[in-house]
Amino acid sequence: LGYTVVHNVVDAEWLAAMRALIDAIVEREGDNLAIEHHQEATATRIANLINKGAIWEKVWSHPLILSACRHVFQGDFKVSSLNAREALFDGGHQPLHADWKKPRHDFPKVHLVNTIWAIDDLSAENGAPRIIPGTHLRPELPEAVLDDPELAHPDEVVFAAPAGSVMIYNAHAWHGGTRNRVGSRRRVLHGLYIDRADTAQQDQQRWLTPETASRLTPAQKWLLGVA
């Protein structure tokens, strides 16, 4: 399939704390939201969460996620980024895409594994992500073979799940956000991991703050590629 969904990864107390901090960061950063990555007209994004609170360390270094990554990569990897995204009312739709944009001359080597953490309940009505099972086994990018990657795909599966669930997937698989038709909250985290030889989306050699570094274990620093 190229993905799996695990329920009850996050308990109610942890969810509440992450929701509160996400909203506080949005309020604090305002127009500067996600300038470390990219902004989106119909969704609220936060980038570089690694440096925006100790609570996120439980996310990007979660042992369940790391175990899954080890299984998929079959080799050394590191954290590429941790971001947040919330599709706004009537927004959030994305074309089907793969996160690795380069030609896969070394197919079927895995360069990226992504995780989507449901901070709110996700449904087909509020913009839950969609994924096309099995497409991680195709070397082509969706924009090269689909007539219109914006359209619904006959094989797509929507990540409809209660808050606290996590979808772990081979990020070569075709996927994308859908439109939030009802306007309910749908905050998610995107925890991205990359082959250790590749360049991280948010290279912590550049971004890591002394405050964050002071909290990290040697293993966590290695995972960020700064050890």
What are the domain boundaries of the chain? 3-102+113-224
Q: How far apart are CA 115 and CA 166, in angstroms?
A: 7
Is the pLDDT confidence value at 95 over 90? yes
Which pLDDT value is given to residue 84?
Answer: 98
**Count of beta carbons in the 10 Å neighbourhood of residue 22:** 23
- C-beta separation of 198 from 79 below 8 A: no
Q: Which residues contact 58 (CB under 8 A, 6 or more apart)?
A: 14
What's the whole-number average pLDDT of the chain?
Answer: 97
Residues 59-76, mean pLDDT to the nearest whole number: 98
Tokens 């994004």: give the residue: 45
Is the pLDDT confidence value at 37 over 90? no
Instruction: Tell if the pTM clears 0.95, that is, is over it.
Output: yes
207 token code pair: 């971004």
Fold of 3-102+113-224: Jelly Rolls (2.60.120)
The per-residue pLDDT for range 124-178, each reduced to its tens digit, is 999 999 999 999 999 999 999 999 999 999 999 999 999 999 999 999 999 999 9
H/E stretch holding 23 reads: helix 12-29
| 36 or 95, higher pLDDT | 95
Is the pLDDT confidence value at 117 over 90? yes
- C-beta separation of 23 from 182 below 8 A: no
Whole-number Cα distances in Å, 123 to 102, 105, 135, 172, 212: 31, 36, 22, 23, 34
Q: How far apart are CA 21 and CA 12, in angstroms?
A: 14
